[in-house]
Structure 1
Amino acid sequence: MASENSTKILVAAIDFGTTFSSWACSFRHDYEKDPTKILVREWNSGVGISSKAPTTALIRPDGKTLDSIGYNAEDKYGRLAENDEHKDWYYFRRFKMSLFKDKSLTRNTIIDDEMGKKMAAIKVISLVIRYLKDDLCEQVKLKMAGALLPEDIQWVLSVPAIWNDKARQFMREAAVQAGISDKQLLIALEPEAASLYCRRIPLELKESGGTSSIVPLSPGTRYIVVDAGGGTIDITIHEVLEDGNVKEIHKATGGAWGGQEVDKAFKQFLIKIFGNPVVKQFKVEAMEDYVGLFRDFELKKRIVSPNLNEDVTFSIPVSLLEIFKENSGETLSEAINQTQFATNVRVLKGNKLRLDQSIMRGFFDRSLRSVCDHLQTFHEDNEKYGISVALLVGGFAESVMLREAIRENCSTWKVLVPDGASLAVLKGAVLYGYDQSAIVYRVARYTYGVRTRRDFIDGVHPEEYLVVNDEGERFCKHMFAPFLTEGTLVRYNQIVYKIGGNPSDSKNDYLNISIYASTVKDAKFITNECCFFLGNLKVTGLDTSIPRSQRKVDVTITHKGTDLHVHATDTRSGRKLNAYIDLLD
């Protein structure tokens, strides 16, 4: 894994989002002059230029070859479907959330494409990352005379902060499969990346000598970052330190409350009007029109505000109306009159549907309620957290509905939406690649520990956990020995665990230590409901030519940014051993 404060010629970041993805990069000489000078990829959407492309992948029938991503993938699949040539192709849309929802994530986790065809999740994700990586390298070649070697690039991949450790390792391994060296890869947490970007740009009004200027947030300011993406709302609380770096005040929180929840509400609206069988058939038989309808909704939902007084009109695809007519035998107006929308949805000439503004606002209800209920837990205890500013970033931050809901529910906070809020994570990931130590302190999300056994105490330890060795010594098994407690403030590059050990069997040339985590601070046993198995700390390469008792290993775990780094040495020889934590066994 890469070291802090990279000296690479180029830092390249990939934001693999739930709804949209893209890449950005900057050369070191530009960063040293102006850290905010960052090149962002531009994508042709067919109707204009966008800084992000839909997280959509079209894979050829061989199940191995990526044909296209983004807008090109959507358009091509639509053409294939129109000619009934799509059935053997794999078409994945908005599949990132499967990693968040799957608590038993493994390297073999399978996901379904839009038509239910199955493929290994790590293969799909690695294909998309490889495309973005290769595309970035091609674009960089056009901007420089000499050749840029692979080892000259520091790569950064952003992930939601509320993802668990397994999902982060999964993304790392997908990136490695995509051709990115593990030693040149950093994982950046999305709200942290956004925070790093926001500390570089003017946000605060300051008066001095009779003049006013807008400057970055001043030391001592505590602010909450609300990274509102398509899938998740990621929330973290930071404080600006005297040297301009930041300290985390509370562990990252959030949930699956992003812009997709609004899209889901719109889909449920369509189902209530047209019926679930019709919407399913529409998706299967007219995918191009299906995607087009939701593209239209994506644009329309951005203009919705609490003060919207105008109704919103949608063009309904002819294919949807034809399928509806075949299945129902009634007109669309007759169907609507039998629903709860009889008084606020009208059918117009020219295949148009006009929705009352209250219906449009209603699509936001679940998402906004979830976000605001969560934020109020911090706002109501502001004496503890001392938050004065809320920074809204991410694509969903562009929604006036979200901004105003937070302003109304968290009235003492100054709600700011930085320029280019939708790119704050991506640009911040580039900055993180240059200086990972800028987040000086982080708060431990869980209590981390190892499985161990200790002297058995009658009346204290459960009888079923009693084990007796050959020498007659009595031990209690399944005990949880924490080395990092939930809520602890951990400094960057801090050693959090040291242990000495040797293999359990005389034939073994490896050492295996089981790592567990707990959602509470005082768990006693790994069997407690609050505890869960995290993964194995593995050390390999021990010398089997010497007795087992002499095969001793010193293991150190260091907290570096978003990862726990393991270092192991042979106690006898001082030789460095291969050591790592595997969370995807």
Structure 2
Amino acid sequence: MELSIIKGPQLVIALDIGTTYSGYAWQHRSEFETNRNNVHFNTSWGAGALQLHKTSTCILIKFKKETEKAENKKPDIKVSIDENKLSITEDVETKIGQEAERVYSGIAKQNKIDEMYGQYYFFKGFKIALYNKHFNRSIEDQIDQPFRLFDVMALFIKALKDHCLKKLQTQGMTVDMKKTLFVVTVPAIWTEEAKKFMIDASIAAGIGNKNLLLALEPEAAAIYCLNLPEGERKDMHDLGMKGQKFLVADLGGGTADLFAVEVEESGSVREICPPLGDQVGGQNINRAFLQVCYDSFEGDDWAKTFGKATPVEMWKMEAEFEKKKVAIGSDDPDGEMIDLEVPASIRDSLHDQSVKLKDTGYIAFEDREFMFNSGLVRKNLFQETCKIVYGTIKKVLDKTEANGLRTVVLVGGFAESPIVVENIRKMIANDFQGIKVVIPSSPFKAVLNRAVLFGHNPMIIRSRISRETYGIETNVKFDPNIHDEQKKWNQKITGEDYCKNIFHIHVRKDQSVVLCNAQPVKKYIPVYKHQNNLRLPIYKSLSSTNPKYTDEGDCEKVGEINVVFENTTEDSEKSVDVSMIYGGTALSVIAKDNASGKEYIADIKFNRVK
């Protein structure tokens, strides 16, 4: 797909869908050619929303007509496991971000939960489901209603895209969709299945497949580092100079996503080791904070008390904590307190003392609020999460390929926290004295900003490290010295013995691959002369660089090309040349029928979903 995207788009729109926050940015081609730093961001997200370049990653889906009558029970909504296509045919309304939070909060206050079933669905944090290796197609909303994950993501992308197009139209711009490229950001550590899921969701959201490009989030941040103003470049260890190696750590709400590169003489960058990451970020702090709340009560009655709080009250408290945690400085006085409004049911139970707080010194209840000592947040919550983040960074810095790397760049929303920066700096300085940790002036904007530039110039990333081994399943003549006897089969016409399930390698795991350059061509010949087609099953192995058979270890079929031999006879020469090409963030498999010259490109279907 990436090999066929439109070239030289008149307009690039980047959609950054984060675990916690999402937003969009845009730039016209003329602006890119004259001043590539002139990227535009939206900061208007509806009445009452903060004027920031991102909004909350959440969506309210309202069915104009109830899907089922709610009679004090949840509707039995069946979740399809068909291929990735939008299954909703009814007319629905959607709201996203802080506007969705505000509207849903009002609906929840005016209606009982059983009155909302089948008509209102509210989702937060749904992107996190795609981080799981075997992700599930079904998720539940705030009141436990099941829904297709694919539909939620597609509707969110559509709402974000439509919000952007409406914004441009109100500014008097005419958008030619055929000449517009949409860049959708994804974590580098995601599986190919998850990336394909996002491609399909974007297409279902109304983006043409020739107008769609994925950008790996830490790679976009690396591009940001190559285009810094001269003054900021000097402050950041002369970042982006030719020959320099540096590591980008994109610290978001759900992941720490790392990308190590070297700047080449041409100004492009090459990946120097496979991406690493972990499911750790700002959300870990939030979960630990809620656990501290639970652990601060005496006895077991707190569980019943918290169970009475509405979902809206709980996520409001978490959202308030989300805002305040980032502002806590690393050197705040121990006595500083953080105040959060308590849900009504918990507040009432504390007033009548049906539940009591332990005397920990970290948390107190005054009037309507919990008061937290900031020392709890700095030492108990942040420190453990920072240790996990640093452990992932250290794995990269310890690699032989990272020799000579002298700069670690922290970007992403989690890097806005002074506590995070201070902790990571201390840990790196302790083990790697020669490495400097730097933070750009706007770490929260880095990915979104340069995803736009990536859309204008996708080949700025010159080479990548293959995450997996890819090849074709084939048959070869049986050799008793090297082949498994159980895989031997006899070709009855010629009487020759063959070995089945051979993994014929095209690209190896950890191999450096230059983008848009075809790997060596390999020829495949039908076993039978009378064959009028040749199936070429495409396989991958995540762990092995040298798999022998396609049914060993973690080898998995990811696609298939079926070459049809046209206008040939039994005596005709039949052969197929196969090459694999990295076109950006995905792999294309091209098969050419040597007799007709016709080319086939694989439509890889990933099946590792439930």
TM-score between the two structures when normalised by the length of structure 1? 0.89
Q: Counterparts of 1:67 and 1:383 in 2: how far apart (Å)?
A: 47
How far off its partner does 1:16 sit? 1.0
What corresponds to 1:86 in structure 2? 116
The match for 2:412 among 377, 394, 412 is 394
The match for 1:163 among 187, 190, 208 is 190
Aligned: 1:449 with 2:471? yes
How far off its partner does 1:501 sit? 4.2
Contact map agreement 1:204 1:217 (CA 8 A) in 2: no
The match for 1:319 among 328, 344, 349 is 344
3-state SS in 2 of match to 1:244: coil
Structure 1, unmatched stretches of 5+, are: none
Contact map agreement 1:22 1:51 (CA 8 A) in 2: yes
How far off its partner does 1:264 sit? 1.0
Percentage of matched positions with identical amino acids: 26
Taking a change above 3 Å as real, the CA distance of residues 383 and 492 of structure 1, as seen in their structure-2 partners, is closer
Q: Deviations over 1:104-147 (max 9, x none)?
A: 66xxx2222222222221111111111111111111223345x3
How far off its partner does 1:159 sit? 0.4
Q: Counterparts of 1:346 and 1:162 in 2: how far apart (Å)?
A: 40
Aligned: 1:202 with 2:229? yes
Taking a change above 3 Å as real, the CA distance of residues 504 and 350 of structure 1, as seen in their structure-2 partners, is same
What corresponds to 1:413 in structure 2? 435
Aligned: 1:11 with 2:12? yes
How far off its partner does 1:317 sit? 2.5
What corresponds to 1:364 in structure 2? 382
Contact map agreement 1:502 1:548 (CA 8 A) in 2: no
Q: Deviations over 1:370-414 (max 9, x none)?
A: 111122233345785321111111111101122112211111321
What corresponds to 2:207 in structure 1? 180
What corresponds to 1:297 in structure 2? 321
Aligned: 1:72 with 2:99? yes
3-state SS in 1 of match to 2:189: coil
What corresponds to 2:57 in structure 1? 55
Aligned: 1:486 with 2:509? yes
The match for 1:343 among 361, 367, 378 is 361
3-state SS in 2 of match to 1:257: coil
What corresponds to 2:82 in structure 1? none
What corresponds to 2:130 in structure 1? 99
What corresponds to 1:253 in structure 2? 276
Q: Counterparts of 1:509 and 1:431 in 2: how far apart (Å)?
A: 43
Q: State which drifts further: 293-302 or 57-66.
A: 57-66
The match for 1:190 among 217, 233, 239 is 217
Aligned: 1:264 with 2:287? yes
What corresponds to 1:40 in structure 2? 41
Structure 2, unmatched stretches of 5+, are: 68-87
The match for 1:134 among 156, 162, 168 is 162
How far off its partner does 1:176 sit? 0.6
Q: Which has the higher strand share?
A: 1
Contact map agreement 1:496 1:557 (CA 8 A) in 2: yes
* Equivalent runs, 1:207-226 vs 2, <5 Å: 217-226=240-249
3-state SS in 1 of match to 2:578: strand
Taking a change above 3 Å as real, the CA distance of residues 97 and 542 of structure 1, as seen in their structure-2 partners, is farther
Q: Deviations over 1:448-495 (max 9, x none)?
A: 223233333336433333323324432333332221112211111121
Q: State which drifts further: 113-122 or 198-207.
A: 198-207
How far off its partner does 1:356 sit? 4.9
3-state SS in 2 of match to 1:161: coil
Q: Counterparts of 1:186 and 1:100 in 2: how far apart (Å)?
A: 20
Q: Counterparts of 2:543 and 2:503 in 1: how far apart (Å)?
A: 13
Taking a change above 3 Å as real, the CA distance of residues 502 and 120 of structure 1, as seen in their structure-2 partners, is farther
Aligned residue pairs, count: 566
Contact map agreement 2:363 2:370 (CA 8 A) in 1: no
Taking a change above 3 Å as real, the CA distance of residues 345 and 331 of structure 1, as seen in their structure-2 partners, is farther
Contact map agreement 1:516 1:535 (CA 8 A) in 2: yes
Q: Counterparts of 1:31 and 1:238 in 2: how far apart (Å)?
A: 24
Aligned: 1:425 with 2:443? no
Aligned: 1:458 with 2:483? no
TM-score between the two structures when normalised by the length of structure 2? 0.85
Letter in 1 for 2:132: K
Q: Deviations over 1:3-62 (max 9, x none)?
A: 579311101111111111111110011111111111111144736311111110111244
Q: Counterparts of 1:494 and 1:192 in 2: how far apart (Å)?
A: 20
How far off its partner does 1:268 sit? 1.2
How far off its partner does 1:216 sit? 5.1
How far off its partner does 1:431 sit? 0.5
What corresponds to 1:435 in structure 2? 457
Letter in 1 for 2:466: A
